[in-house]
Amino acid sequence: MPRNLLHGTQKTMQWTTLILGMLTLGIVSTAVHHDMRLEGRLLPAHMRGQVPWKIIQPHQMVTGATAPANTNVIIQIPDDAKNMTLDVITGFRGKVSRFWGYCFPENDDANSARATKQFPGKIFLSLKERTMRIEQQMNSRQNRFNTVENLQEADLNQERFYRGAIRHQIEKFHAGTSCFLMSEIPLPIGIDEDGDLANTAVERDVGTSPLNADTDADGVSDGREIFFLGTNPLLRDSDGDGLIDGLEDRNHNGKRDLGETDAMKWDTDDDGLCDGLCRVENGKKLRGEDKNINGKLDEEESSPLLKDSDRDGILDLHEIFLCELGGGTDC
């Protein structure tokens, strides 16, 4: 058996043994007193106590994998992987899905974990899970303590509550780490070899290259197009207005900032002229606001952000019509 495969197998067995021995003890001792047992909150009633297991091994992280819903999942990050955030490793599903888990320290073992009667590693919670917990805590405080006489008692109870509650502790995931995960929906799990914020599972599903941070070479990274800008990472000009996405998102940060045109809209200012230069009237004419399609407002060009660029009371498109009717050749 190859050395790296043997190492991966041994690591899988090590963490599987640890997890099987610690799941019930760690979860119950940390959370059950506050009615916040995560397994019970995420799993349908008929599945509690009979939860299936899945191991996502390092080579599967490289190609991209799916963490099934309502399943005990073990994730093994390859030893040579780049550091990733929680959003990246879970395909930015944290806003829409409740999921939770924890990562083990490299030198941890079952005996030390049992001795502490706590989770054997650092805990992570999705943004949706964290938001719901905060709301529940606030509602609990409002319902139970609403008079001046109870303020001191409230402080004492809150101190005990936060001391024992499960809290988000980890945001970055490192090479060689093994983690446990459970989610209410399937999650695309993978590494981010090209550093474009889209993991290998996401890139596999979308069709972009996991080894090229900007598959369509438009200046905006694949992950920023997929998750933030909303453009197509396989098309240089997503909205077909003659300007490539990287010219519309000039600073390539995946957001439409002040002074930028909308990379998802053919005509940002709704004046009837495309932001760049487009063929109109069945391809017979070229019209647009950025005639040399360089992403800048040059002399003799109208602004793609203003319907009436020169503020003379005549819309930009109508000025083009007047120019063409007058026999102009550079309208």
Query: Do the domain assignments include residue 313?
Result: no
> In whole angstroms, what is the distance from residue 308 CA to residue 249 CA?
23
pLDDT in tens, 72-81: 999 999 999 9
pLDDT in tens, 48-99: 567 889 999 999 999 999 999 999 999 999 999 999 999 999 999 999 999 9
For the chain, strand residue ranges (E) read 53-56, 65-67, 72-76, 84-85, 99-103, 122-125, 172-173, 178-183, 187-189, 278-280, 285-287
Q: What percentage of the chain has pLDDT greater than the value 70?
A: 73
pLDDT value at position 116? 52
pLDDT value at position 137? 77
Q: List the domain range (segments joined by +) for residue 153.
A: 3-203
> In whole angstroms, what is the distance from residue 77 CA to residue 73 CA?
13
- CA 149, 154, 157: angle at the middle one, nearest 5? 145
Let me know: does 118 contact 23? Beta carbons within 8 Å: no
pLDDT of 109 higher than 80: no
Query: Do the domain assignments include residue 229?
Result: no
Phi, psi of 23, deg, nearest 5: -55, -55
Amino acid at 316: D
pLDDT value at position 44? 54
pLDDT of 121 higher than 50: yes
> In whole angstroms, what is the distance from residue 87 CA to residue 228 CA?
12
Mean pLDDT of the chain: 81
Question: Which of 44-53, 100-109, 310-319 is the most confident on average?
Answer: 310-319
> In whole angstroms, what is the distance from residue 99 CA to residue 52 CA?
16
Let me know: does 199 contact 84? Beta carbons within 8 Å: yes
pLDDT in tens, 211-239: 999 999 999 999 999 999 999 999 999 99
> For the chain, how big is the Rg over CA atoms in Å?
27
Mean pLDDT along residues 10-22: 44
Identify how many contiguous H helices and E strands the chain contains and give both numbers: 11, 11
> In whole angstroms, what is the distance from residue 114 CA to residue 118 CA?
7
Mean pLDDT along residues 111-120: 54
Q: Quick one: residue 66, left, alpha or beta (phi over 0 = left, psi -120 to 50 = alpha)?
A: beta
Query: Do the domain assignments include residue 217?
Result: no
Mean pLDDT along residues 170-192: 95
Amino acid at 241: D
pLDDT range class, residue 104, cuts 50, 70, 90: confident
User: Residue 61: which of 188, 182, 186 has the closest Cα?
Assistant: 188
Q: Which two tokens stand for residue 249?
A: 């998102």
pLDDT range class, residue 150, cuts 50, 70, 90: very low
Which of 29-33, 63-67, 248-252 shows the lowest mean pLDDT across its residues?
A: 29-33
pLDDT range class, residue 295, cuts 50, 70, 90: very high
Mean pLDDT along residues 244-271: 96
Mean pLDDT along residues 127-140: 86
> In whole angstroms, what is the distance from residue 253 CA to residue 251 CA?
6
Query: Do the domain assignments include residue 99?
Result: yes
pLDDT in tens, 209-218: 999 999 999 9
pLDDT value at position 331? 73
The residue that leads in pLDDT, 266 or 42, is: 266
Query: Do the domain assignments include residue 315?
Result: no
pLDDT value at position 157? 41
Q: Which two tokens stand for residue 228?
A: 């933030």
pLDDT of 281 higher than 70: yes
> In whole angstroms, what is the distance from residue 270 CA to residue 261 CA?
11
The residue that leads in pLDDT, 174 or 5, is: 174
Query: Do the domain assignments include residue 75?
Result: yes
Query: Do the domain assignments include residue 109?
Result: yes
pLDDT range class, residue 158, cuts 50, 70, 90: very low
pLDDT of 284 higher than 90: no
Q: At what angle do helices 151-164 and 127-144 cross, to 10 degrees?
A: 150
pLDDT value at position 6? 40
Based on the structure, what is the number of domains in the chain?
1
pLDDT value at position 133? 86
Query: Do the domain assignments include residue 256?
Result: no
Instruction: Name the one residue in this structure whose structure tokens are 């694949």.
Output: 222
pLDDT of 112 higher than 60: no
